[in-house]
A and B are shown apart, each in its own frame.
Chain A
Amino acid sequence: MHRNHVLVAMDAHTIAQGARAVRDALMRNLEMTSLTSEVKVVETGSLGIYNRGVVLVIFPENVYYVGVKVEDVAEIVSEHLIKGRVVERLHYTDVPVEKAAEMGAAPRFGKQQRVVLKNAGIIDPESIEEYIARDGYEALGKALTEMKPQDVIEVVKKSGIQGRGGAFFPTGLKWSFAAAEEAKQKYIICNADEGEPGTFKDRLILEGDPHCVIEGMALAGYAVGADMGFIYIRGEYRMSIDRLNRAIQRAKENGLLGENLFDSGFNFNIEVREGAGAYICGEETALIESIEGKRGEPRDKPPFPPSVGLWGMPTIVNNVETLANVPQIILKGADWYKSMGTEKSPGTKVFTMVGNINNPGLIEVPMGTTLREIIYDIGQGIPEGKGFKLAQMGGTTGGILTGAHLDLPMSVEALREIGSGLGSGALLVVDDSQDVVELVENFVEFFNHESCGKCTLCREGNGRLLELLQRINSGKGHVADLNLMEELAVTMMKGAFCGLGQAAPVPILGCLKYFRDDFVRKIEAAEMAAAA
Chain B
Amino acid sequence: MDKVTVTIDGIQVTVPKGTTVLEAAKQVNIKIPRLCYHPDLPPVSGCRLCVVEIEGDRLLRTSCSWKCQDGMKINTKSQTVRSSRRMALELILSRHPMLCTECVRNNNCELQSIADQLGIRETRFEYSARPGGIDDSSAVLVRDPSKCILCRRCIQTCELVQSVSAIGLEGRGYNVWVDTPFGKGLDDVACVSCGQCINRCPVGALYEQDHVARVWAALDDPTKHVVVQTAPAVRASIGEAFGMSAGSLVTDKMVTGLRMLGFDKVFDTDFTADLTIVEEGTELIGRLTNGGALPMLTSCSPGWINFIEHFYPQLLPHVSSCKSPQQMFGALAKTYYAEKAGIDPKDIYSVSIMPCTAKKYECQRPEMRDSGYQDVDAVLTTRELAKMMKQVGIDLPQLEPGKYDEPLGISTGAAVIFGNTGGVMEAALRTVYELVTKSPLENVEIKQVRGMEGVREAEIDLNGTKVRAAVANGLANARQLMEKIVAGEADYHFVEIMACPGGCIGGGGQPIPTSMEIRKKRVEAIYAADRALEIRKSHENPAIKKLYAEFLGEPNSHKAHELLHTHYTRKTVYKETVA
Contacts and interface: CB of A to CB of B under 8 A. Distances in A.
Direct contact of A and B (CB under 8 A): yes
The SS class assigned to the B binding surface is loop
Contacts of B175: 453
Nearest to A480: B124
A278 B173 CA distance: 11
A491 B92 CA distance: 14
B46 A454 contact: yes
Nearest to A466: B174
B83 A496 contact: no
Contact of B87 (A302, A453, A487): A487
B51 interface: yes
Interface stretch (A176-184, A197-205, A206-214, A457-465): A457-465
B92 A460 contact: yes
Nearest to A280: B172
Contacts of B88: 456-457, 491, 495
B59 A452 contact: no
A494 interface: yes
Interface string B42-70: 01111111010000001110100101000
Interface string A422-459: 00000000000000000000000000111111111101
B369 interface: no
A451 B59 contact: no
B12 interface: no
B125 A464 contact: yes
Contacts of B46: 454-456, 497
Interface of B: 43-49, 51, 58-60, 62, 65, 67, 80, 83-84, 87-88, 91-92, 94-95, 124-126, 128, 150, 169, 171-176
Contact of A455 (B48, B80, B169, B174): B48
17 contacts: A295-B172, A302-B67, A448-B173, A450-B173, A451-B173, A454-B46, A459-B173, A459-B174, A459-B176, A460-B91, A460-B94, A464-B91, A467-B125, A487-B83, A488-B87, A495-B87, A497-B45
The 7 A-B pairs of least Cβ separation, nearest first, read A453-B176, A460-B91, A463-B174, A451-B173, A491-B87, A495-B60, A495-B84
Contact of A462 (B51, B95, B128, B174): B174
B92 A463 contact: no
B87 A457 contact: yes
A503 to B, nearest CB: 12
Contacts of B83: 487, 491
A417 interface: no
A453 B130 CA distance: 13
Interface of A: 278, 295, 300, 302, 448-457, 459-464, 467, 484, 487-488, 491, 494-497, 502
B153 to A, nearest CB: 14
B65 A460 contact: no
Contacts of B87: 457, 461, 487-488, 491, 495
Contact of B48 (A449, A453, A463, A497): A497
B60 to A, nearest CB: 4
Given A456-B47, A467-B126, A495-B60, 7 more contacts: A302-B67, A453-B150, A453-B169, A456-B92, A461-B87, A461-B91, A495-B48
Given A454-B44, A459-B150, A494 B80 contact: yes
B390 to A, nearest CB: 33
B53 to A, nearest CB: 9
Contacts of B47: 455-456
B77 to A, nearest CB: 15
A307 to B, nearest CB: 13
Given A300-B45, A453-B176, A494 B92 contact: no
B111 to A, nearest CB: 12
Contact of B60 (A450, A452, A467, A494): A494
A460 B44 CA distance: 16
A494 B87 CA distance: 12
Nearest to A501: B48
B88 to A, nearest CB: 5
Nearest to A461: B91
B169 A502 contact: no
With a 10 A CB-CB cut-off, give which of B43, B48, B62, B169 has the most chain A CB atoms.
B48
Contact of B173 (A449, A464, A491, A496): A449
A497 B36 CA distance: 13
Contact of A451 (B62, B67, B172): B172
B356 to A, nearest CB: 32
A496 B84 CA distance: 10
A105 B425 CA distance: 82
B573 to A, nearest CB: 19
Contacts of A484: 124
Nearest to A449: B173
A496 B48 CA distance: 7
B172 A460 contact: no
Contacts of A502: 59
A453 B174 contact: yes
Given A453-B172, A455-B48, A495-B88, A463 B150 contact: no
A448 B128 CA distance: 15
A234 B461 CA distance: 63
Contacts of A295: 169, 172
B367 to A, nearest CB: 40
A456 B91 contact: yes
Contacts of B84: 491, 494-495
Contacts of B176: 452-453, 459
A480 to B, nearest CB: 9
B44 A463 contact: no
Contacts of B91: 456-457, 460-461, 464
Nearest to A471: B126
With a 10 A CB-CB cut-off, give which of B95, B173, B176 has the most chain A CB atoms.
B173
A506 to B, nearest CB: 13
Nearest to B125: A464
Given A494-B58, A495-B60, A452 B172 contact: yes
Contacts of A453: 150, 169, 171-176
B224 to A, nearest CB: 49
A464 B123 CA distance: 12
A474 B279 CA distance: 74
Nearest to B47: A456
B174 A451 contact: yes
A410 B95 CA distance: 42
B84 to A, nearest CB: 5
A26 to B, nearest CB: 44
A494 B79 CA distance: 13
Contacts of A488: 87
A448 B65 CA distance: 26
A487 B67 CA distance: 28
Contacts of B150: 453, 456, 459
B59 A494 contact: yes
Contacts of A457: 48, 87-88, 91
Nearest to A496: B48
B34 to A, nearest CB: 12
A471 to B, nearest CB: 10
Nearest to A483: B124
With a 10 A CB-CB cut-off, give which of A460, A462, A463, A488 has the most chain B CB atoms.
A460
A495 B59 contact: yes
Given A459-B176, A460-B92, A502-B59, A495 B124 contact: no
B45 A455 contact: yes
Contacts of A456: 46-49, 88, 91-92, 150
Contacts of B125: 464, 467
Contacts of B58: 494
B114 to A, nearest CB: 13
Contacts of A300: 43, 45, 62, 65
Contacts of A462: 173-174
Nearest to A487: B87
Nearest to A295: B169
B205 to A, nearest CB: 15
Contacts of B92: 456, 460
With a 10 A CB-CB cut-off, give which of B51, B80, B91 has the most chain A CB atoms.
B91
B95 A460 contact: yes
